[in-house]
Structure 1
Amino acid sequence: MAAKLMKAVQYFGYGGGAAALKIGGALAEYVVAKENLTVARPPEILEIDGAGLPLAALTAHVALTHANIHLDRSSERKNILITAASGGVGHYAVQLAKLGNTHVTATCGARNLDLVKDLGADEVLDYKTLEGASLKSPSWKKYDSVVHCATGIPWATFKPNLSETGKVIDLTPGPFTFMTFAMQKLMLSKQQLVPVILSPKTENFEYVVNLAKERKLKTIVDSTYSLSEVSDAWTRIISGHATGKIIIEV
């Protein structure tokens, strides 16, 4: 996800990914936003922490909704895998998933194993090891759902690790994802690769903001850059090694 911008004012909003295709998006000191794309910032949330919530926390929340995870713990216990769990979306997904009745297995780089564990993951895999690359749960659990925040992992790697009706919620879908999804629908497959194009509602945004206000959801900040250092921020993003969010300050 791109770096997020939030002005030190009473409101912040979201716009990026699929939403940006419809309403536009840029890094700027001032922006005009529709009222239904903004939520009042509670004073309990610092600007730098709140800046990460759109769109990353929203994306994580929508993904867990697709995975049928009820964050009030009202659903039956489920096993869930979160890939790239130390990234912008992933670190929120781990925290949100643990609000539900879940056993969370997560993947990340070796330097972030302890961080992801501290965020609540029950099991953490180093994706560069053979065990991590195979995505197998150390406790041999089959996943009911996967919140897939990474790229480059083939369906064949996920399939043997899924439960009979397991779903992979793909947050970075490409043409292959959509073709696979269509074929699985035609074949009435119980296991599915599900592409997600984010189209959040204001109530989704209000929900994650309230969680942050109640200290149930925190933002991990990788680094901050000034508006004049945007090119350096993008270099950091593209490197794929950021932990949590990269923030632009104005």
Structure 2
Amino acid sequence: MQPEPLRYGYGRRSHRVGPGVKDFKAGDKVVTYLGLEIGCGLAEYVVAEESMTVVKPPEVSAADAAALPVTALTAHQALTDSAEIKLDGSGKTPKGAALKSPFGVKYDVVIHCTSDIPWSTFEPNLSTEGKVTDLSPNLISYLIFKAKFLTFSKKQLAPIIIFSKRENIDFLVNLAKEGL
């Protein structure tokens, strides 16, 4: 009796795809998001959901492909989903385009990448409807988020939780393919 393959990581060394897989064939090099528990990685064999997987173009290195589903996807979602910035350039407001100096400016969007800065630092520096997207949320972040939501505050703290879509991964892979 053979052991069950691991859910993620190295499984049985077989060159086949699962039943019902339509978009890939055995031996395809792919980029995939493996879920919140795993994130991303680099493996020769892995079990992944077809709906979260795209073919890796030869122009994208294996190392870059391994980093895209979490690092680039986190940045992409922070900008597009949470901060609601349109990456095609159509969402740049005249006020936003004119900002030159950080002194005295109230911010519409802050991407918070550390856990050492408290909400009390951000709040006075936000515009009336400013938003802080927290990339490393903790319990306090979630409590502040709920309090702001329940009090109908226009200033927001938005803890980010990655919800990957195949089209997001495909978009990022194509950017990497073009060297962007």
TM-score by length of 2: 0.74
Q: Does 1:142 align with 2:121?
A: no
* Identical residues among aligned pairs (%): 47
Contact 1:15 1:55 in 2 (8 A): no
Residues 47 and 102 of structure 1, relative CA distance in 2, 3 Å threshold:
farther
- Who is 2:119 aligned against? 155
Shift of 1:186: 1.6
Unpaired runs of 5+ in structure 1? 80-100, 104-121, 124-136, 217-250
Whole-angstrom CA distance in 2 between matches of 1:149 and 1:15: 22
**Pairing of 1:36-47 with structure 2 (within 5 A):** 36-47=51-62
Whole-angstrom CA distance in 2 between matches of 1:30 and 1:196: 30
Q: How many residues align?
A: 153
Q: Does 1:20 align with 2:43?
A: no
Residues 207 and 25 of structure 1, relative CA distance in 2, 3 Å threshold:
closer
In structure 1, give the amino acid aligned to 2:37: A
Whole-angstrom CA distance in 1 between matches of 2:55 and 2:43: 20
Whole-angstrom CA distance in 1 between matches of 2:142 and 2:128: 21
Contact 2:31 2:53 in 1 (8 A): yes
What SS is found at the alignment partner of 2:142? Answer: helix
Report which of the two structures shows the higher radius of gyration computed on alpha carbons: 2
In structure 2, give the amino acid aligned to 1:71: L
- Who is 1:107 aligned against? none
Shift of 1:68: 1.0
Residues 102 and 60 of structure 1, relative CA distance in 2, 3 Å threshold:
farther
Contact 1:170 1:196 in 2 (8 A): yes
Match of 1:73 among 71, 75, 89: 89
Whole-angstrom CA distance in 1 between matches of 2:105 and 2:65: 35
Shift of 1:164: 1.0
Residues 140 and 71 of structure 1, relative CA distance in 2, 3 Å threshold:
same
- Who is 1:130 aligned against? none
Shift of 1:102: 9.1
- Who is 1:227 aligned against? none
- Who is 1:189 aligned against? 153
- Who is 1:34 aligned against? 49
Residues 40 and 26 of structure 1, relative CA distance in 2, 3 Å threshold:
closer
Shift of 1:25: 7.7
Match of 1:169 among 133, 156, 162: 133
Whole-angstrom CA distance in 2 between matches of 1:69 and 1:211: 17
**Pairing of 1:61-140 with structure 2 (within 5 A):** 61-65=76-80, 66-77=82-93, 79=96, 137=102, 139-140=103-104
Kindly indicate which of the two structures has a greater share of residues assigned to strand. 1
Residues 102 and 206 of structure 1, relative CA distance in 2, 3 Å threshold:
farther
Whole-angstrom CA distance in 2 between matches of 1:195 and 1:102: 28
Q: Deviation string for 1:143-175 (max 9, x for gaps)?
A: 111111211210011112111110001121111
Q: Pairwise CA RMSD of aligned residues?
A: 2.7
In structure 2, give the amino acid aligned to 1:72: D
Residues 26 and 60 of structure 1, relative CA distance in 2, 3 Å threshold:
closer
